[in-house]
Amino acid sequence: MGKDWESEPPGHHEDPLHMQPGELLHFAHKYYFRIIHKAAEQSDLENHFRENTGNIQVPEGFVPEHTLTLSAGGDLMPYYCINKNTCSSLWDECGDFFFGADLVTANLETPVNLLNKPSPVPEVMLKNMYFNGSREMFDVFSGNGKYNGYHVLSVANNHSLDQGEAGLLQTLHFLEKRKVRYCGAAKQEDLRDDFPIIDKNGIRVAFLAATFSLNALKTPPGKEWMVNHLPLNVEDPDIELLIHQSKLARERRADFIVAHLHMGLAYQPFPSHYSVKTIHRICEQTGIDIVLGGHPHNPQPVEFYQFTDPFSRKPKQSFIVYSLGDFVAYDIFKWCHLPLMLKFTIEKGKEGSFITGLEMKLAYMQAVVRKGKVEKLILRDFNRLIKDLSTLDSRSLKEFRELEQFAKQFLLPGNVEKFLV
C-alpha cells in the first residue's frame, strides 16, 4: 500500500452508502495505521493554503451602523466520557471566549431522542455507528449551565437519521423546547425552507445547512425534505437547494448568510480537491458569506475567497473554514483533540454587511486518563499552553507536542496564525 495512500485516492468520497471495499480499506488504514500527510496529488493545495495571504476586506470609507459578534464551533458528539462529572471543568479556559458572542452556533452531530437510551460513539469502528445523545450530554455541550448556550445548531450531518425518522423529529422537538433554532432539517415538507434568520443588533443573519451523507441510510421515500442531503463529496454536485435557499434568504432581507456544510474527507490535514472546488462554486452561485465546514473531525485550513456576487454582481469575499474539527468529543485519533473556535465581528452600514473582525482560538482537549479510563476533560487554551506546559501530565505533554507539530505544519501557516488569540 505504502506511497499509494500518502494522500486520498482519486474519487474517494467516504459516503458509506456507496463506498466500495477498497475505499473502506483506505479509510481504516488512515485512521488506524498511517496518518495521511499530503493533499491530493497534483492539487497543489499545500502551497495554496500556505501561501494564501488573504485578509479581511471592507469597502473604503465603510461606516458601520450596526455590529454583532458570532462564535462558531465544530462537531458536538456523544462520547461515553461526555458527562457532567468528567466535564465539570470543560469550559473553564475557553467558555467565556466561545459563549461570549451575540450569536453562537455549532454542528450537533447526534440525535437527542429522549425516548431511547443514549448510544455513544464506540472506541472501535467496525460497522455503521448510530448515535443518540442525552439531556446530560447536551447540557455539557451547551456550557454546563454557566453560559447561555447555542442560538443555532446545524442538524444536517451523516448522523441525522441515526435514530430514524422519529428520532430526528424528537431531536427537533428537544431543540425547540430549549429555544435553540436549527438548520438543515425539517419536521414537515412545507417547513423545509423555514431556515432561521435571526435579527440581532440590527443585522439579519440567515443559517443554512446541508450534508453529503446520511451514513448508510436514506430519508424515507417521499420525505426527502426531512434533511438537506446533497452529494457534496462528488465532483460537480447538484447544489440547487443551496442556491434556492440563499435566494430566499436575500428575499427575506438577510444581511448575512452562514452555511454549515457537512462534507469532505475525515482524518486528513487538507480538504479534498473536490471539496475546495465545490465550496468555491457554492460561494460563487449563492453568495454565502461564511462557510463552516464539518465532518473531517480534525481542523483544516481556512481561506478568504474572492468572486463576483451572484446577486449584486459586485466583487465579494467569503470566508471558508474547511473543517472546524471535533468540538466537544473525544476521538482516539489524536488530531481530533485540537478544536478550532472562531469569533467573527460582523458590521452593517449603507454599503452592506461585512466581516470586520476575526479571532480564532485553538484548544487542546486534554484528557486525564487513569487505568485506561477518561476521568476528566478540559478544553485548554492552545496559546497559553505553549507558554506554560507545567500543568500537563506526561501523557498529555507528549500528545500536546504532537498536536503542536500538526498545527505548525498544516494549520497555522497562511490564514490561521495571524488571527490566533
3-state secondary structure the chain: CHHHHCCCCCCCCCCCCCCCHHHHHHHHHHHHCCCCCCCCCCCCHHHHHHHCCCCCCCCCCCCCCEEEEEEEEEEECCCCCCCCCCCCCCCCCCHHHHHCCCEEEEEECCCCCCCCCCECCCCCCCCCCCCECCHHHHHHHCCCCCCCCCCEEECCCCCCCCCHHHHHHHHHHHHHHCCCEEECECCCHHHCCCCCEEEECCEEEEEEEEECCECECCCCCCCHHHECECCCCCCCCCCHHHHHHHHHHHHCCCCEEEEEEECCCCCCCCCCHHHHHHHHHHHHHHCCCEEEEECCCCCEEEEEEEEECCCCCCEEEEEEEEECCEEECCCCCHHHHCCEEEEEEEEEECCEEEEEEEEEEEEEEEEEEECCEEEEEEEEEHHHHHHCCCCCCHHHHHHHHHHHHHHHHHHCCCCCHHHEC
> Cell for 9?
485516492
Measure the CA–CA gap between 239 and 175, rounded to whole angstroms. 27
User: Residue 126 — pLDDT band, cuts 50, 70, 90?
Assistant: low
Measure the CA–CA gap between 12 and 233, rounded to whole angstroms. 8
User: Residue 9 — pLDDT band, cuts 50, 70, 90?
Assistant: confident
Measure the CA–CA gap between 165 and 188, rounded to whole angstroms. 11
Q: How do residues 218-272 score in pLDDT, each as one tens digit?
A: 999 999 999 999 999 999 999 999 999 999 999 999 999 999 999 999 999 999 9
Calculate the CA 180 to chain-centre distance: 17
Measure the CA–CA gap between 394 and 360, rounded to whole angstroms. 27
> Cell for 215?
451514513
Of 292, 322, 417, residue with least CA distance to 361: 417
Looking up cell 473553564, which residue turns up?
92
Measure the CA–CA gap between 175 and 167, rounded to whole angstroms. 12
Measure the CA–CA gap between 240 and 248, rounded to whole angstroms. 12
Q: How do residues 329-365 score in pLDDT, each as one tens digit?
A: 999 999 999 999 999 999 999 999 999 999 999 999 9
Q: How many Cβ atoms are within 10 Å of 238's Cβ, its own excluded?
A: 11
- pTM score: 0.96
Distances (CA, A) of 304 to 51, 55, 116, 276, 316: 12, 7, 43, 12, 10
Confirm if 379 and 394 have CB atoms less than 8 A apart. Answer: no
Which residues make Cβ contacts (< 8 Å) with residue 415, sequence separation at least 6?
A: 49, 52, 53, 54, 55, 301, 302, 303, 304
Angle between helices 240-251 and 273-286 (to 10 degrees): 30
Q: How do residues 189-225 score in pLDDT, each as one tens digit?
A: 999 999 999 999 999 999 999 999 999 999 999 999 9
The full set of domains in the chain, from first to last, is 45-419 (3.60.21.10)
pLDDT of residue 33: 86
Of 355, 362, 297, residue with least CA distance to 323: 297
Going by their DSSP bridges, the two strands 352-370 and 373-381 should be labelled as antiparallel
Percent of the chain with pLDDT over 70: 97
pLDDT at 1 over 80: no
Percent of the chain with pLDDT over 90: 86
Measure the CA–CA gap between 106 and 141, rounded to whole angstroms. 10
pLDDT at 7 over 90: no
Going by their DSSP bridges, the two strands 152-154 and 181-183 should be labelled as parallel
Mean pLDDT value across residues 66-80 = 97
User: Residue 395 — pLDDT band, cuts 50, 70, 90?
Assistant: very high
pLDDT at 128 over 90: no
Of 22, 7, 72, residue with least CA distance to 267: 7
Q: Write down the mean pLDDT value for the chain.
A: 95
Confirm if 210 and 242 have CB atoms less than 8 A apart. Answer: yes
User: Residue 3 — pLDDT band, cuts 50, 70, 90?
Assistant: low
